[in-house]
Amino acid sequence: MNNGQTVFSQVMDFVPAYEFNQCVERYHGSYKVQNFSCWDHFLCMAFAQLTYRESLRDIESCLNAQRSKLYHLGFHGNITRSTLSYANNTRDWRIYADFASVLIEIAKDLYRGEQFAVDISETVYALDSTTIDLCLSVFPWARFRKKKAAIKLHTLLDLRGNIPSILAISDGKMHDVNILDILVAEPGALYLVDRGYIDFARLHRLTESCAYFITRSKSNMQFDRIISQDVDKSCGILCDQIIRFSGFYSSQHYPDRLRRIKYHDIEKEKTLIFITNNFLLPSPIIAQLFKCRWQVELFFKWIKQHLKIKSFYGTSENAVKTQIWTALSIYLIVAIIRKRLKIEASLYTILQILSVSLFEKTYILQALSDIPPNFEEYRSPNQLNLFNL
């Protein structure tokens, strides 16, 4: 007799089923599919991410060991490693990429009012990429160098809640700055980018879109100083200047004025020079904001440590991208659960608890928080009592 839902099925209840089906229909994911649907495929990949499975054989063995519970977990098809391998190689990875975009919008709405390290009202984004190394002999389609294969994960991270606003996967040869071509700038938002994204024509498009950017200056940048503003050197600000480019190409690509701020970090004994098109924020705030760009590096470190995106269940391009997108979807689902249930534990703690309790029939809020256990048997709200005593 089944009393209540398992933790895994409760986690999947936070997945918007209608939007998922729309993504499947968009790319004909159900075409000629009889037994192993896209939903079954997503559940398998979600289970693998939540429990840190190492291989297709590992996924198959663990799920079939709980065969009597699979129906109540949401599975309706037989789970074999050959079926799962075929799905990874043939099901269009864009289904899961589009679904991750749906989850991004849900998570962004939930974390919109999250506190930020700097007291400003503007939306602040950090743009960066990370390289995922691959073996060239196993992944020949991802050739990066002569003896190396790799892919890149580009992320535009909303620093209020560390929710990725844009995610894109490219081959390792793609230069970081090219991601600015697909970026739709949000008017009034601040974009924190490193020197790898300096392309004055692309940065000028941000200015034309009424968006702001902060980046570091290159050592060979040629400019004319128009005016120097007063600064408080006790804050580490050495100079705050209004400049205009004097180089032939840079002046053509970015004809407007810019702001140049020289800052000395006392803790690290390092001097940094920032370039921005924002003339309103105080110079110490500009320096503080660029320090927050490090959050995107921590985000990459976190997902590489706690999600399964460094070793893969398949070797084809479709299988690799499917695994990465489902892994990022799990990150977003856990973030949504944390906010909707108002759980104070970190995402890492939630993932660790879920990894050992997916088959338990415990109320998820009780499993993920410090609420003392209730010895009364948990029952689903849809389960009616046979006898009213």
Q: Provide the pLDDT for residue 331.
A: 95
| Mean model confidence pLDDT for the chain | 89
Q: Provide the pLDDT for residue 3.
A: 57
Q: Provide the pLDDT for residue 377.
A: 43
Q: Which residues of 337-361 are buried (b: 16+ CB within 10 A; e: fewer)?
A: bbbeeebeeebeebbebbeebbeeb
Gap between the Cα atoms of 273 and 247, Å rounded:
18
Q: Where are the alpha helices (DSSP H) in 31-122?
A: 38-51, 56-64, 70-73, 81-90, 94-110
Percent of the chain with pLDDT over 70: 94
pLDDT at 154 over 60: yes
Are 49 and 307 spatial neighbours (Cβ–Cβ below 8 Å)? yes
Tell me the mean pLDDT in the region 226-232: 90
Q: Provide the pLDDT for residue 370.
A: 61
**Least confident window among 72-81, 273-282, 313-322, 379-388:** 379-388
Please tell me the pTM assigned to this model: 0.89
Q: Provide the pLDDT for residue 383.
A: 52
Q: Provide the pLDDT for residue 378.
A: 43
Who contacts 334 (Cβ-Cβ below 8 Å, separation ≥6)? 347, 350, 351, 354
56 pLDDT band, cuts 50/70/90, is very high
